[in-house]
Amino acid sequence: MRNTFIVLCAAIVAATVGCGGDTETENACIAEHPRDGALNADNKQAASSTEARCAEAGDPCESDDFISREAAECVARKDGLAEGIAPWSAMVVYDGRFGPVWNIENTLEEQDDGCRGGELTKLDAITGKILLSSDEMGWRACP
Sorted by where each begins, the domain ranges of the chain are: 2-141
**Is the pLDDT confidence value at 6 over 70?**
no
Mean pLDDT of the chain: 82
Return the axis-axis angle of helices 23-32 and 69-78, rounded to nearest 10°: 140
State residue 61's pLDDT score: 81
State residue 79's pLDDT score: 93
Distance from C-alpha of 121 to C-alpha of 103, rounded to nearest angstrom = 6
Neighbours of 94 (CB within 10 A): 22
Give pTM, 2 decimals: 0.77
**More confidently predicted of 55 and 87:** 87
- Binning the chain into helix, strand and coil, the percentages to the nearest 5 are 35, 20, 45
Cβ-contact 80, 135 below 8 angstroms: yes
State residue 2's pLDDT score: 41
Residue 3's pLDDT band (cuts 50, 70, 90): very low
Q: Express each pLDDT in 14-63 by its tens digit.
A: 333 344 456 888 889 999 998 876 667 676 667 678 888 888 888 778 87
Sign of the dihedral through C-alpha 9, 14, 19, 25: positive
**Mean pLDDT (whole number) for 95-117:** 94
Neighbours of 64 (CB within 10 A): 11
**Mean pLDDT (whole number) for 121-129:** 94
